[in-house]
Amino acid sequence: MSALNPVYLTEDPTHDDVINFINEEAFGPGRLTRAAERVREQGPHDRSLSFVATVDGEVIASVRLTPVMAGEALGHMLGPLAVRPSHKNLGIGRELVRISVLAAKAKGSEAVILVGDPPYYGPLGFTPVTARLDFPGPVDRSRILVATDHLDIQERLNGPIRWREDPVAEAFELMVQEIA
């Protein structure tokens, strides 16, 4: 491999097959049984906030954000985040998280929520959710994390997390489909 020089791009429909492959490779079939997947099944992710990393033109990692209502907060759920084994531990996943969280906040998201490992996501600005955020299925509460700039977010995260319609994301998806 030549000197690593990843390029980060907004996801488009041509990336779907390779993203599915990368997620299968990273998480196996068990990924489809998780509580976070129950939320993602409710509606599409937001391609305008979902990104891939490429090296020498090959997609080697991806992250997706899905628009959600989390209790009373207008937010996005991050995941899945996956990096090909050949490119792990090089900072690519962390950069994808940074880019996607900044994009979500710029779009007006009050909270980016995920179910993940606190030691990995903590340095990226995620803190434990202390409120009662209810997923559609069992979830380890110590792994529910949030990145936010809103001081009152914890009390507003009480209640169910569910997919929400996002007219801006839908318009972006239609535009991308017309171009592709």
- pLDDT grade, residue 2 (50/70/90)? very low
Cis peptide before 128 (omega within 30 of 0): no
Average pLDDT over residues 161-170: 82
pLDDT in tens, 98-123: 999 999 999 999 999 999 999 999 99
Spatial contact of 61 and 83, defined as CB atoms under 8 Å apart: yes
- The answer to which of 25-34, 57-66, 81-90, 140-149 has the lowest mean pLDDT is 25-34
For 137, other C-beta atoms within 10 Å of its C-beta total 12
| Distance, CA of 67 to CA of 78 (rounded, Å) | 9
| Distance, CA of 92 to CA of 7 (rounded, Å) | 10
pLDDT in tens, 23-47: 999 888 766 667 888 898 999 999 9
So where are the chain's domains? Answer: 7-174
Q: Is 17 helix (H, G, I), strand (E, B) or coil?
A: helix
For 171, other C-beta atoms within 10 Å of its C-beta total 11
Q: Exposure of 172 by Cβ count < 10 A (0-12 exposed, 13-18 middle, 19+ buried)?
A: middle
Average pLDDT over residues 42-56: 96
Cα angle for residues 9, 100, 80 (degrees, 5° grid): 90
Please state which CATH number belongs to domain 7-174: 3.40.630.30
Average pLDDT across the chain, whole number:
91
Spatial contact of 126 and 77, defined as CB atoms under 8 Å apart: no
For 126, other C-beta atoms within 10 Å of its C-beta total 23
Please report how many Cα atoms fall inside a 13 Å half-sphere around the Cα of residue 65, on the Cβ side.
30
**Res 58: pLDDT:** 96
DSSP annotation of 91 reads S
pLDDT in tens, 119-134: 999 999 999 999 999 9
Spatial contact of 75 and 25, defined as CB atoms under 8 Å apart: no
